[in-house]
Structure 1
Amino acid sequence: MIAGLVCNNGEFFTHDHENHLVFDGHRLPYAEFPIEVLQVIDNSIEPAHQKALDTMDILDIDSRRNKWLSCNQANLDFVADYNPNKSKLEREVVQCDHRLSCDQNGILCISPSQGSGLTDRRLQVLQCIGKGMLDKEIAVKLKISEKTVRVHNKYLRDFFGCHRKADLALRAKKINLI
């Protein structure tokens, strides 16, 4: 049993590109999810998410559920995601390597910018900082000048109240950019 979870609730997470559920003291792979859990997942996939999945050519029900879970529930954060008394799941920002290059960012998943107040460009810079990139490398990758990278760095440090670039890297991890 994972500490912090009670037997009646469950925690979804993704490991090695497979979705799992810690539920009733057991780690269940997707194929073993109880029907009640699958019904709650289905209730949570809204029409906009259905359209995004269609756009991505994800057509079969199991693949759709798994993609939605990966984009909205993949964090093992020790906070229960599934509650049998609720008909829908609360979405959460999850770590995604494709977040800022995905056409469905903010539609299928919750984009960090939807809750952070940062522009997508500043999130891109923050993601690069989180990956340990130098200003010069960030400039080349994002096709902007080093001076512009430094301006974004300063804004991000002020925004988060950080004094060092290393603190920004920790922030990037905390909001699941890396």
Structure 2
Amino acid sequence: MLYMVLYPETQEKVHSIIDSVIGNHRRPTLQDRQMLPYVDAVLMEIQRCNTIAPLTVPHRALQDTTLNGYYIPKDTVALPSLWCVLHDKEHWGDPQSFRPSRFIDDDGMLIKDEIFIPFGIGKRLCPGEALARNTMFLFFTSLMQAFYVQLPPGSTKPSIESLSGFTTAPKPFEVIFKSRHKL
């Protein structure tokens, strides 16, 4: 919701796409997902900008090794940073910018970017990834189908800075949910 109030043009586009694909006569389903690549792109960009788990679980080097020119002795504990991967300027170009279109190709289809790893990678991939992605899609799409999300009158623009911890969350802010459809 933070990014929807900060980027109303993105919220408007999400509303328009949901209206054209689903309408307001039924709730979104997972079968709608393939026809809503921009909605997935928005969710991916939100996860890229403010990843929930900026660090992975600790890893231990099983043997002496060299990685990208760095010597890593056996038994060294490393905490890989997903945040650094998701904000790598060499890969993303403008990582500080909220730009869902970076995940959409010229044909309007979703781009599968191997560097987009908010749930980790390999053997340490989050076992709940599919459940989390499906739940985020259904929850977000249902909210956007039903509501405009706005800041309360006179409120200040919320910060994109996160509260730090093992997992992160936005700093507290207030929003108003306004019905998009007459009941």
Q: Quick check: TM above 0.5?
A: no
- Structure having the larger proportion of residues in helix: 1
Q: What TM-score do the two structures reach when normalised by structure 2? A: 0.26
Select the structure with the greater relative contact order (CA < 8 A; seq sep ≥ 6). 2
Q: What TM-score do the two structures reach when normalised by structure 1? A: 0.27
